[in-house]
Amino acid sequence: MEIVLFTVVAGTLYLAADRLLVLVERRRGAPLPGRSLVFFLMLLGMALPVFALIRHLLGA
């Protein structure tokens, strides 16, 4: 059951990071240089605390 939860959360975070990056690029008016790296850092920055919170709540 945990694997399903983590997979759903990961997918949701992926979509959230993508939408956030698109929003930032729209406000900026141009694509960000190093777009892939920025996306990775955004996704990592969201995933680490959320996954840690899930592990804490599940008592693992």
d(Cα 30, Cα 17) in Å, to the nearest integer? 17
The position carrying tokens 């850092």 is 41
pLDDT of residue 60: 63
pLDDT band at 59 (very low <50, low <70, confident <90, very high): confident
What digits encode the pLDDT tens for the residues 5-52?
999 999 999 999 999 999 999 999 999 999 999 999 999 999 999 999
Please report, as a single letter, which amino acid is at residue 16: A
d(Cα 9, Cα 15) in Å, to the nearest integer? 10
Please report, as a single letter, which amino acid is at residue 30: A
The position carrying tokens 């900026």 is 28
